Amino acid sequence: MLGYQWFIEVLHSLKAHKIRTIFSGFGVMWAMLIWVLLQGVGSGVHNGMMKRFRSYTTRCMYISEGHGSTGPIHLTEAITNELATGLNVFSQVMPFFQKTSSVAYGPIIHKSDLLGVGVGYEKINDLALVEGRFFNARDLAERLPVCILGLEMKKKIFDVHQAVGQFIAIDGVRVCVIGVLDETIWFNNTRIMLPSSLFKALFPRDAQVIDGIIATLAPKQNGIAAAEKVRTYLARRLNLNANERDALCIRGPSQSATLFEVLFSVMKGFIGLVSCCFLVSGVVGVSNMMLVVVKERRKELAIRKVMGAKPSHIMGLILLESIAINLISGILGLGIGIGILQWMNRYLLPMIENHGIARFEFQFSLYALVALVLSGCLAAIIPVKRVGYIKPVDALNKE
């Protein structure tokens, strides 16, 4: 019953001082709204920039053949396996094949670059799908006639129609489309991906040697040092001079990858810091208002003490009033902020996503609300302590 009376008294106090309550709540609501918008927009900018510059921050290494002093260099799948087992610098190594071939759908024929890869190629290159699925072990083991289209090639062949489940003819062989890649700036969007086993069956002459090797660096491996290890190993394996830089083309992550990662982390941290400053300003505003409340209600609180109210009861009322203002205002600010982000995702994002902006997201709404309420409790500690120092005689005499 006592708890119920507390809430009733707090409600009457908030109603009796509407202007004070509205201004205190508006400060918290505004701080929460700015918090949500900064976090949401910041995540959109951060994710968009990471997506746009992912080719600079990737942990991939590409190895392709060149031309040495003794003639052209040829890489094979056996060399790929040796790299995977002979050097402890990669977590995944995969050969790939390339060829330009004709692609027909109905009477229309296109030219396209074909790419033969294994399972997991999308993870190494961090590729995403618009629709469909990636290759699995069964596709390679049974050499199933399936393919994945780049987004631009899908538009050329099928325009706006659905591509997954349709059949195209690659070099006269019917192949089923099982997926469409999302557009990226580091991947040729006009390519068609095939399982490596199918590629070798369709083009046995072109599959005698591979066109390149793609690998993912193991954790804590330095890209520059790993590239030198690979170059030395392959030079010894292929009887090359290690100083012949044109014999092998090795492209791996550079020091700029770390710089980009640090830059994006600092940017995200700065946005978070500014958001916290707005949130703290709202909480401080409530704390100041509660100090005013204690001063204005000195006579009332003194009378409560004279009537036998315990100091803990009076302190609880002040603390509960602070929590109520923070909670209600925080929920309002959170709701308005999320509503604005949803509107931006629906109407504004389609116009600006080509400029490196991703979907605006806010993932810590509940945590932020809890943090706001807890901060409000901490901010109310000083006003609550002042309640304990009120002496009824002095308070009534001053009034």
**What are the per-10-residue average pLDDT scores of the chain (399 residues)?**
64 75 80 81 73 63 77 82 84 89 89 91 84 93 93 90 92 92 76 92 80 85 82 83 76 63 76 77 72 70 72 74 80 85 76 55 66 72 65 58
Q: Which residues pair with 72 in a beta bridge?
A: 67
What confidence score (pLDDT) does residue 230 get? Answer: 86
Same-domain check for residues 32 and 90: no
What confidence score (pLDDT) does residue 312 get? Answer: 73
Same-domain check for residues 142 and 32: no
Nearest to 211 by CA among 126, 127, 114, 146: 114
Q: What is the dihedral angle through the alpha carbons of 241, 245, 248, 252, rounded to the nearest 10 degrees?
A: 130
CB 137 within 8 A of CB 195: no
- How many domains does the chain contain in total? 2
Last residue of a domain, one of 234, 252, 270: 252
Same-domain check for residues 302 and 157: no
Same-domain check for residues 64 and 137: yes
Flag whether the pTM goes above 0.75. Answer: no
Residue 248, exposed/middle/buried by CB under 10 A (0-12, 13-18, 19+)? buried
- Convert 264-294 to b/e letters by CB count within 10 Å (16 or more is b): beeebeebeeebbebbeebbebbbebbeebb
The pair of three-digit structure tokens given for residue 314, joined into one six-digit string: 């009076």
The pair of three-digit structure tokens given for residue 2, joined into one six-digit string: 């006592």
Largest CA distance in the chain: 106
Q: If you ran DSSP here, which 8-state letter would residue 142 be given?
A: T
Q: Range of 327's domain?
A: 2-53+259-398
Same-domain check for residues 101 and 121: yes
Last residue of a domain, one of 202, 227, 252: 252
The torsion angles phi and psi of 179, rounded to 5 degrees, stand at: -170, 160
Same-domain check for residues 32 and 82: no
Same-domain check for residues 116 and 192: yes
110: Cβ contacts below 8 Å, ≥ 6 apart: 102, 103, 104, 153, 156, 157
Vertex 231: Cα angle to 225 and 234 (nearest 5): 140
Same-domain check for residues 85 and 142: yes
Last residue of a domain, one of 252, 286, 309: 252
What confidence score (pLDDT) does residue 198 get? Answer: 93
